[in-house]
Amino acid sequence: MPEIKVTPLGAGQDVGRSCILVSIGGKNIMLDCGMHMGYNDDRRFPDFSYITQNGRLTEFLDCVIISHFHLDHCGALPYMSEMVGYDGPIYMTHPTKAICPILLEDFRKITVDKKGETNFFTSQMIKDCMKKVIPLNLHQTVQVDDELEIKAYYAGHVLGAAMVHIKVGSESVVYTGDYNMTPDRHLGAAWIDKCRPDILISESTYATTIRDSKRCRERDFLKKVHESIERGGKVLIPVFALGRAQELCILLETFWERMNLKAPIYFSTGLTEKANHYYKLFITWTNQKIRKTFVQRNMFEFKHIKAFDRSYADNPGPMVVFATPGMLHAGQSLQIFKKWAGNEKNMVIMPGYCVQGTIGHKILNGQRKLEMEGRATLDVKLQVEYMSFSAHADAKGIMQLIRMAEPRNMLLVHGEAVKMEFLKGKIEQEFSINCYMPANGETTTVTTNPSVPVDISLNLLKREMALGGTVCYGDGFLVSSEQALKELGLNEHQLRFTCRVQLQDPHSDPDTLHRIYTHLKSVLKGYTIQHLPDGTVMVESIVIKVSSSAEDPNTKVLLLSWSYQVTFLRC
């Protein structure tokens, strides 16, 4: 039986470093190629030696598909293609192709130029890698080769994020990447048609969470920011450059306008302009409200939010700062956090998931003394708040997607093992399908029952049903013989087959025939045997005649004959 094999090289019972290998119909596909934000050593990249220990990856992979531009999904791509070696096609949507190299370069600067790390990709490697990218349009079926085809669906989450339907023959897999089933202030909800894949590979970041009303969360967020500003405190909101940043900027912009607040709001230098440029360029990827009002007012041109300069962090008085990156693991957000951590008037609001090992994860777990680089200890006195504006599907959203796609099997990645286990049980109970959650390096094998679609003549179907017959399905199509002859312009012919048998019998020819008839009746139970008036016996479609031999009257000759209707094709 045919099989589909799925092996996570990253994001197996873990969040971060998404990289999933799928073998389907003799094709090998890599889904995402991310880096782990919690590590600074070799563990930050997937272990590509699992695929091959010598030779380039091109020989083993048919294509690579990137779901969106977050670094935990694309951060290892230049390393994989340029340093390990891969020259095959890389697929991603147009917005992902535009934004991906900017985020990769920003991270390279932090890692190499500021931290001085080696064994990392260069700016040129990022450019060379992006030359291999083939952009995808939503709902467009792309033929990778004669047998492998892929199709992208809207995933919400961030600008350009896509779920991918992979098909080889009648076998198929859907990979969600990160997705959001709830529309927000700037993006729509994820959607896929009822494609019934053999396996649905879904992220499960919030596998046990059912979020409260979005409006309640927004109200709590604005209340906390306002209270901190009123008491003269500074508010740090660590975000990634695109995504939740724009969502929260729209929220604060409208609140500042309504409340006529004067405290400054800042965003990391340069990123506001870049983000605004890409949202303008890819406006069709935003939600309906923004598309409708875009000509009158661009929602991403903010009056109250200004570019941040690092010297502003020391300014007296209240302020709100959006700084990158989002988990406080490096960069400007970490520098500002170090400066503001000692003042209890200040506040840090973590608006999304934080990977284990990052400063963000440590402070959310209540750690108040942090060991920083150079063995310095940082006392955390500011208020720490977690408000989930994360654009991942919650448990309810994951179940909703399963109802949409109707998969035959389910496989969970990009989540914590304990939470996955809980969701796995819920899925198997509600949908009566197998659900898998392999760890990194562990292979899940699913046996498939490929169905072959068959076109059948309506007349033939009706005739078979009327006769109580069974229509057999095969590879291709079924038509009645009359219709086939008519369409192909062929004639039907009759072939007659005969066989002569001699036996010794002194009786007359009619007596011999009668004795044969009686004998056949007694031994061939269940067969139709007739003695016909024309002096023949018929066994089903075989006709038996008896005549005496010209040389010897006691020798009887039995002539057996039967016919077939056949069609000759002239080659």
**Distance separating the N- and C-terminal Cα atoms of the chain:** 36
Q: Which amino acid is at 302?
A: F
Q: Please give the Cα distance from 280 to 81 (Å, whole number).
A: 30
Structure tokens given for 245? 């940043």
Catalytic residue selected from 171, 203, 218, 385: 203
Alpha helices of 109-213 — where are they, by DSSP H? 123-130
Residues 6+ apart with CB under 8 A from 553: none
Distance of CA 463 to the CA centre of its chain: 43
Q: Measuring CA to CA, how many Å separate 405 from each of 173, 199, 444?
A: 11, 10, 20
Identify the three-state secondary structure at position 452: coil
Strand 347-350, strand 63-65: pairing: unpaired
Q: Please give the Cα distance from 197 to 31 (Å, whole number).
A: 16
Give the torsion through C-alpha atoms of 179, 294, 244, 336, to 10 deg.
Answer: 160
- The question of whether 203 is a catalytic residue gets the answer yes
Helix H or strand E encompassing 225: helix 214-230
Q: Which amino acid is at 347?
A: M
In 3D space, the residue among 391, 445, 395, 442 whose CA is nearest the CA of residue 177 turns out to be: 391
Q: How many residues does the chain have?
A: 571
Q: Please give the Cα distance from 266 to 344 (Å, whole number).
A: 21
**Residue indicated by tokens 């983000």:** 275
Q: Please give the Cα distance from 424 to 538 (Å, whole number).
A: 66
Helices and strands (H and E) in the chain: how many: 15, 29
Cis peptide before 325 (omega within 30 of 0): yes
Identify the three-state secondary structure at position 231: coil
Structure tokens given for 194? 């009822």
Q: Please give the Cα distance from 333 to 271 (Å, whole number).
A: 13
Neighbouring CB atoms inside 10 A of 85's CB total 14
Q: Which residues are catalytic?
A: 203
